[in-house]
Amino acid sequence: MSFQTPSNHALELRDVTKTYGTVHALDRVSLQVPRGTFLAVMGPSGSGKSTLLQCAAGLDVPTSGQVLIGGREISGLNETRRTLVRRDAVGFVFQSYNLLPSLSVRENITLPLRLAGTDGDSAWLDRVVDRIGLRPYLERRPAELSGGQQQRVAIARSLAARPEVVFADEPTGALDAHTASDVLGLLRDLVDDFGQTVVMVTHDPRAAHRAHATVVVADGRIREYLAAPTAETLAGSLVGVR
Ligand SMILES: Nc1ncnc2c1ncn2[C@@H]1O[C@H](COP(=O)(O)OP(=O)(O)OP(=O)(O)O)[C@@H](O)[C@H]1O
């Protein structure tokens, strides 16, 4: 598995810099993520992981450099067009699930589609619901589910529009170790079975080692690229950048 091949990238960052006043949150970051792969982003607090995710997902714009999703440059688009790219090409999974409590599981999963004015691809939605094991819970409210089940709903929602990339920000941060492991296994299965591309920010080496590769960020730069790292090599790399 190579993260350097020149073709078929779901996500590419070219020389991306993001500055806040005098702070270089990202400093000439270049990165290529092939379709159907799982990339973890690690690094100490304040190293630039969230900024990287925000710029890569089109939630924020780089000060300079380019971001391409599915080969299409998004960094030069205005806010309206970036919103459309996010809607159609990007899925999000957050630590806090971000489900709407008054809606059923079914309604939460399809909400982004309904906001976009479409019913989506019902055969795809059925596959997602069955693969994630949510069929028995479709009419429940989020409060009637465990944390792990709620995160599964959020993952299903992130896939509803068949996005090019799913961005996950500490997706297991609120879960116990056993449930976290299940959720990470699911994310990995979605990559292996559906060819989904996933980019996940995490502090946890045990989470990162479920990915195909990990980039370690420090002071706004990619300090290390680790293909198929173990939890032990990851822990060692992180000690090195603190
Ligand atoms: N909106 C902002 N305004 C000013 N500085 C910012 C802003 N957002 C981030 N920064 C700064 O940019 C740097 C990188 O921040 P970022 O949030 O990307 O780090 P992080 O690796 O995600 O940290 P953590 O793991 O603690 O969430 C930090 O020095 C931070 O203080």
Q: Which atom of ligand 1 is nearest to the CA of 51?
A: 18
- Per-residue pLDDT of 70-114, as tens digits, reads 999 998 899 999 999 999 999 999 999 999 999 999 999 999 999
- Per-residue pLDDT of 188-197, as tens digits, reads 999 999 999 9
Q: Which atom of ligand 1 is nearest to the CA of 54?
A: 18
> Of all protein residues, whose CA lies closest to atom 8 belonging to ligand 1?
51
Please choose, from the candidates 236, 188, 189, 239, the residue with its C-alpha nearest in 3D space to the C-alpha of residue 213: 188
Distance 49 CA to ligand 1 centre (A): 8
- Note the pLDDT of residue 241: 62
- Arithmetic mean of pLDDT, 23-41: 96
Percentages (nearest 5) of helix, strand, coil residues in the chain: 40, 25, 35
Query: Average pLDDT over the chain, rounded to whole?
Result: 91
- Per-residue pLDDT of 125-140, as tens digits, reads 999 999 999 999 999 9
Distance 50 CA to ligand 1 centre (A): 7
Which residues form the pocket of ligand 1, taking CB atoms under 6 Å from any ligand atom?
A: 20, 23, 25, 43, 45-51
- Asked whether 193 and 132 are in contact (CB, 8 A), the reply is no
Distance 44 CA to ligand 1 centre (A): 11
The confidence band for 8, taking pLDDT boundaries of 50, 70 and 90, is confident
- Arithmetic mean of pLDDT, 38-54: 96
- Note the pLDDT of residue 230: 73
Helix H, strand E, coil C: the string for 139-161 is CCCHHHCCHHHHHHHHHHHHHCC
> Of all protein residues, whose CA lies closest to atom 29 belonging to ligand 1?
46
Domain ranges of the chain: 9-241
ipTM of this model? Answer: 0.96
Q: Which atom of ligand 1 is nearest to the CA of 201?
A: 22
pTM over 0.80: yes
Percent of the chain with pLDDT over 90: 83
Distance 41 CA to ligand 1 centre (A): 14
- Asked whether 17 and 26 are in contact (CB, 8 A), the reply is yes
DSSP strand E in 49-88: where?
64-69, 72-73
Q: Which helix (H) or strand (E) holds 115?
A: helix 105-115
- Angle (deg, nearest 10), helices 122-132 and 105-115: 140
Report the Cα–Cα distance between both ends of the chain, in Å, rounded.
28
Q: Please tell me the CATH superfamily of domain 9-241, with its number.
A: P-loop containing nucleotide triphosphate hydrolases (3.40.50.300)
> Of all protein residues, whose CA lies closest to atom 14 belonging to ligand 1?
48
- Per-residue pLDDT of 201-242, as tens digits, reads 999 988 998 999 999 999 999 999 998 777 777 777 766 665
